[in-house]
Amino acid sequence: MIGSDGDAQVMPIDHLDLRLEPGSWDYAESRRAEVDAFFAAQAATNPALWNGRILVMARHQVADGVLTGRYRETDFASLLWWLRNGFPGEGVCNTFSMAALRAADGAFLLGRMASWTANAGRIYFAAGTPDLSDLRPDGTVDLSGSAMRELGEEMGVTHADVEVAAGWTGVFAGPRIALIREVRSPLGADALAARIRGFIASEERSELADVVVVRGPDEVDEAMPPFIRTYLLACWQRERSER
């Protein structure tokens, strides 16, 4: 994931209606020479960077608790160039899902990205940019499956290990929409963190350098992008109001 800046709006989302539509990301294609030169420079510094096919949201709306969105196919180089150059052009959003892993004692567990990734040192929930593997046969985009796949790949936590919340929290932060779903483990934070660290150590090339346990506002870290900090603070504020 790429970091976010600016103000964010938090909104409950009951249902996702997301599909891939025909066509490319026209603006990025019109700047192809710039995109390719940028990515070549990035890859020269970090040869591990991946440039596969991914999905960006071309248009969306929220009504009656439903986020309706239509994706277009592009490459990761275009997305990275767009994010690193201040989101030029108009219309698209980087819309992705995240699994907010929570222990039985209420602590959240996030991952610190490994040094070889595009976001080295940053702290995120398990997440990934939607790609072609997230497409169902009917053309819908499965962001729930995407979040759970990333949770397994990054932390070794599977669907069988957690209870998945019914709805989503949408954090709308300028050109990014983070769709976050809480997943709750029956393990306490210390036991869950130890298990995840064991998984990280077992990986030949883990995406994560470590797991980060966050129990309250005082432990929110500047290495977290603003939309994650916004989500965490909103969760704790809501829970205080419900007591």
Nearest to 215, CA basis, from 192, 181, 195: 192
User: Is 60 exceeded by the pLDDT of residue 6?
Assistant: no
- Calculate ∠ Cα 193-197-202, nearest 5°: 150
How many Cβ atoms from other residues are within 10 Å of residue 157's Cβ?
23
Query: What is the pLDDT at residue 2?
Result: 35
Query: What is the pLDDT at residue 50?
Result: 86
CATH of domain 9-242: 3.90.79.10
pTM, to two decimals: 0.91
Which three-class secondary structure state does DSSP give residue 127? strand
Nearest-angstrom CA–CA distance, 223 and 221: 5
Chain mean pLDDT for the chain:
93
Query: What is the pLDDT at residue 7?
Result: 72
Residue 114 contacts residue 120 (beta carbons within 8 Å): yes
Number of H helices, E strands in the chain: 6, 12
Using 50, 70 and 90 to split pLDDT, how confident is the model at 118?
A: confident
Nearest-angstrom CA–CA distance, 128 and 134: 10
Nearest-angstrom CA–CA distance, 75 and 232: 31
Nearest-angstrom CA–CA distance, 12 and 212: 25
Residue 124 contacts residue 110 (beta carbons within 8 Å): yes
